[in-house]
């Protein structure tokens, strides 16, 4: 962390050459897609076309040969490429596109990632240094991940990836071992061609492509500036698919030529950085061990941890307090220690099993795309992920009962027994504390596995803009003008807090046609007012947009997704607040107290 560099000031200087036209290499923007819905691809293509850069070309790489996607590309005015087979999944798709494009630089965005308009202005300037082969930017998300959503903490918890992009990647940049993350990056074509294109040996083509570029002597740069946003996994099953694919793909490093521990061209510091990334996945095995350890006290008579009260007081307690005190400081307040434990526990069993499977049979399974654009109108429980946790919850509860009972029996006569038996009694005392902690964490993990309803695949944004509404009221049959401020807005509708009374009550009325004008963006839309209510003493009206033409779609996507600087870092709660949140989750689970979840009321905060 002592070597961490903030490259944003450097980007300011280098961007001047791009803005003033002294350095504007041709850039091919590639969007690989496999089965993503049309509405997701439309916003991504529109966002890429809106990038403020004169010498670019956008390509939609369809690996499913869908006629509707080809028609979408023609309608939007971008190039459409496909290939005769799906060999090597995403890596093969990108390599095929390289043979049909010729730009000096290649920018890659996953099908759900939308860049801000200044993406290339902020990244291209780095390539004036001929040794720079790749510039990676962080991934941000415009929807809450399923863990935050299922716990009802959408605007409280930060995504799991925040730790990686706010702490780990800057550290890797200082060590010369930046990881290519598969999206939101720019790479030099000549460097890629010299090594034969994107690596196809593994499921993690991005990771190993970056390693091979580093081994060729090129520099990989990390610009810690959020210049794009995409969809986080939308339910816990998709979250698991994504993480297990990452684990499998990364651990395949031990079995391919691009192994960062053996490939020629990396220095010792780079190898150590990559070793840390590989060993990270093995922590799932130790996490399972910590769940099982208290059971050894109860059922096997084994004391895994031997410590007196004084030893715990003088050695463990200071360590633990320091850990809690510095954890969020070291990761720039992207995650607290307690909340990190929740995230690691949810998938520890399938991840541990995957780690073992990969080490025994590394290439047993192929690439599996994370589902996107899904919707659900009911609660659903993921039994496949839950059954090991349910079993462990039951046996840990029995263990707690046994430990507490033994402590009560032995507590009275512990001073009269031999030291070995006294130590066992103390071990049992620690065991029931440990069991209690595990029960709390497993209980919260089981709540995470209960997916809440998500009736609409569209996200609503907490965005304040001045609005002028024109509507013909049913009673007077005359057009009236109403002024207000948006409280939420999406691609399909808007909610407006009115600054005046008089808007018709729609509780028993049919939808009312309205004309919506968002003044700051000179955006005019037609829609139907479907609901009125009172929010914070202001009358509010919910409006569903009518069908939008292409120009309106472009304007709306740019307003919602493409504004420079709109994706901000959020700070995670501190340890004490995190502890209070955990108890709140247990005492007030969302499934019991928030059954009528209004998904459109869940918004992503913006500025």
Same domain, 419 and 540: no
Same domain, 101 and 125: yes
Q: What is the mean pLDDT of the chain?
A: 88
Name the pLDDT band for 607 (thresholds 50, 70, 90).
very low
Boundary (domain end) residue, out of 542, 561, 580: 561
DSSP letters spanning 274-336: HHHHHHHTTHHHHHHHHHHHHHIIIII---S----HHHIIIIIHHHHHHHHHHHHHHTTTS--
Q: Which residues contact 594 (CB under 8 A, 6 or more apart)?
A: 152, 452
More confidently predicted of 402 and 208? 208
DSSP letters spanning 373-388: S--BSS-EE-HHHHHH
Q: Beta strands 523-535 and 450-451: pairing type? A: unpaired
* pLDDT(72) > 50: yes
Same domain, 197 and 117: yes
DSSP letters spanning 158-221: PPTHHHIIIIIHHHHHHHT-PPP-SSSEEEEHHHHHHTTSS--SSS-HHHHHHHHHHHTT-EEE
Q: 293-337, pLDDT tens digit by residue?
A: 888 877 887 777 777 778 878 998 899 899 988 998 898 899 899
More confidently predicted of 297 and 423? 297
**CATH number of the CATH domain containing 166:** 3.90.550.10
Residue 376 lies in a domain: no
What does pTM read for this prediction? 0.90
Task: Kindly state the average pLDDT of the residues 79-87.
Answer: 93
Same domain, 166 and 202: yes
Q: 322-378, pLDDT tens digit by residue?
A: 998 899 889 889 989 988 898 999 999 999 999 999 999 998 877 777 788 788 888
* pLDDT(416) > 80: no
Task: Kindly state the average pLDDT of the residues 171-183.
Answer: 94
Residue 589 lies in a domain: no
Residue 260 lies in a domain: yes
Least reliable range by pLDDT among 90-94, 282-286, 509-513, 539-543: 509-513
Same domain, 259 and 153: yes
* pLDDT(509) > 70: no
Q: 447-499, pLDDT tens digit by residue?
A: 999 998 888 889 999 999 999 999 877 666 778 899 999 999 999 999 999 98
pLDDT the model gives residue 110: 96
Same domain, 516 and 556: yes
Same domain, 433 and 502: no
**CATH number of the CATH domain containing 540:** 2.40.10.220
Same domain, 87 and 125: yes
Name the pLDDT band for 215 (thresholds 50, 70, 90).
very high
* pLDDT(599) > 50: no
Task: Kindly state the average pLDDT of the residues 180-206.
Answer: 93
pLDDT the model gives residue 432: 77
Q: 489-501, pLDDT tens digit by residue?
A: 999 999 999 988 7
Same domain, 411 and 339: yes
Name the pLDDT band for 426 (thresholds 50, 70, 90).
low
Q: 233-282, pLDDT tens digit by residue?
A: 989 999 999 999 999 999 999 999 999 999 999 999 999 999 999 999 99
Give percent of the chain with pLDDT exceeding 70.
Answer: 91
Same domain, 356 and 219: no
Residue 360: exposure state from Cβ atoms within 10 A (0-12, 13-18, ≥19) = exposed
Residues 163-166: contacts with CB under 8 Å, at least 24 apart: 163/331, 163/334, 163/335, 163/340, 165/138, 165/139, 165/224, 166/138, 166/224, 166/331, 166/332, 166/334, 166/569
* pLDDT(429) > 70: no
Tokens 């049979």 found at: 361
Boundary (domain end) residue, out of 400, 425, 448: 448
Cα torsion 157, 160, 165, 169: sign: positive
Name 107's bridge partners.
29, 186
What is the count of structural domains for the chain? Answer: 3
Name the pLDDT band for 601 (thresholds 50, 70, 90).
very low
Residue 21 lies in a domain: yes
Task: Tell me the C-alpha distance between 291 and 347, whole Å.
Answer: 13
pLDDT the model gives residue 18: 95
Task: Tell me the C-alpha distance between 286 and 289, whole Å.
Answer: 5
Cα torsion 61, 63, 64, 67: sign: positive
Residue 582 lies in a domain: no
* pLDDT(409) > 70: no
Task: Kindly state the average pLDDT of the residues 63-74.
Answer: 95
Name the pLDDT band for 406 (thresholds 50, 70, 90).
low
The whole domain housing 147 covers 8-234+255-269
Residue 524 lies in a domain: yes
Boundary (domain end) residue, out of 424, 448, 472: 448
Residue 274 lies in a domain: no
Phi-psi region of 35 (alpha: psi -120 to 50; beta: other; left: phi over 0): left
Same domain, 292 and 260: no
Give percent of the chain with pLDDT exceeding 90.
Answer: 63
More confidently predicted of 536 and 290? 290
Angle at 244 between CA 239 and CA 249, to 5 degrees: 130
Of 396, 387, 402, 405, the C-alpha closest to 436 is 396
Task: Kindly state the average pLDDT of the residues 521-540.
Answer: 87
Angle at 23 between CA 19 and CA 29, to 5 degrees: 85
Residue 598 lies in a domain: no
Same domain, 487 and 407: no
């Amino acid at each position: 962390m002592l070597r961490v560099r903030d490259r944003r000031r450097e980007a300011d200087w280098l961007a001047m050459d791009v803005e003033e036209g002294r350095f504007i290499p041709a850039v091919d923007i590639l969007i690989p897609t496999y089965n993503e819905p049309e509405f997701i691809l439309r916003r991504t293509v529109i966002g890429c076309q809106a990038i403020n850069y004169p010498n670019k070309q956008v390509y939609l790489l369809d690996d499913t040969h869908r006629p509707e996607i080809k028609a979408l590309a023609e309608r939007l005015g971008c190039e459409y490429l496909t290939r005769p087979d799906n060999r090597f999944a995403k890596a093969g798709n990108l390599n095929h596109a390289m043979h049909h494009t010729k730009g000096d630089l290649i920018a890659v965005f996953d099908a759900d990632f939308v860049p801000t308009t200044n993406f290339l202005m902020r990244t291209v300037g780095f390539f004036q240094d001929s040794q720079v082969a790749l510039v990676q930017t962080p991934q941000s998300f415009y929807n809450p991940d399923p863990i935050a959503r299922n716990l009802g903490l959408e605007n409280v918890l930060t995504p799991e990836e925040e730790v990686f992009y706010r702490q780990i990647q800057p550290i890797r940049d200082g060590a010369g071992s930046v990881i290519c993350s598969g999206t939101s990056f720019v790479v030099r074509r000549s460097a890629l061609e010299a090594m034969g294109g994107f690596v196809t040996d593994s499921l993690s083509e991005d990771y190993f492509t970056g390693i091979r570029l580093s081994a060729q002597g090129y520099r990989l740069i990390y610009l810690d500036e959020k210049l794009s946003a995409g969809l986080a996994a939308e339910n816990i099953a998709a979250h698991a698919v994504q993480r297990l694919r990452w684990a499998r793909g990364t651990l395949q490093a031990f079995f391919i030529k691009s192994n960062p521990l053996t490939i020629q061209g990396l220095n010792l510091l780079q190898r150590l950085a990559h070793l840390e990334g590989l060993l990270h996945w093995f922590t799932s095995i130790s996490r399972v061990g910590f769940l099982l350890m208290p059971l050894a006290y109860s059922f096997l008579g084994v004391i895994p941890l031997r410590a007196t009260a004084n030893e715990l007081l003088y050695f463990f307690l200071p360590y633990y307090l320091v850990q809690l005190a510095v954890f969020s400081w070291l990761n720039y307040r992207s995650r607290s220690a307690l909340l990190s434990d929740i995230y690691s526990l949810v998938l520890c069993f399938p991840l541990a099993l995957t780690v073992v499977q990969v080490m025994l049979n590394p290439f047993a399974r192929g690439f599996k795309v994370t589902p996107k654009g899904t919707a659900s109108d009911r609660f659903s429980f993921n039994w496949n992920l839950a059954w090991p946790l349910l079993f462990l919850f039951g046996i840990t509860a029995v263990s707690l009962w046994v430990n507490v009972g033994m402590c009560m029996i032995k507590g009275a006569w512990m001073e009269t027994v031999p030291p070995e038996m006294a130590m066992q009694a103390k071990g049992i005392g620690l065991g029931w504390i440990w069991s209690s902690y595990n029960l709390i964490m497993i209980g919260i993990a089981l709540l995470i596995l209960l997916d809440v309803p998500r009736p609409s695949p569209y996200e609503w944004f907490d965005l304040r803009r001045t609005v002028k509404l024109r509507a013909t009221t049913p009673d007077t049959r005359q057009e009236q003008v109403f002024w207000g401020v948006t409280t939420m807005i999406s691609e399909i509708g808007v909610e407006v807090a009115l600054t005046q009374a008089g808007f018709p009550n729609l509780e028993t009325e049919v939808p009312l046609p309205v004309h919506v004008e968002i003044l700051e963006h000179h955006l005019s839309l037609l829609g139907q007012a479907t609901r009125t209510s009172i929010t914070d003493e202001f009358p509010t009206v919910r409006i569903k947009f009518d069908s939008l033409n292409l120009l309106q779609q472009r304007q709306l996507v740019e307003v919602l997704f493409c504004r420079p600087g709109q994706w901000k870092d959020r700070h995670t709660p501190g340890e004490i607040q995190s502890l209070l949140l955990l108890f709140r989750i247990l005492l007030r689970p969302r499934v019991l107290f928030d059954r009528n979840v209004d998904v459109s009321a869940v918004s992503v905060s913006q500025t």
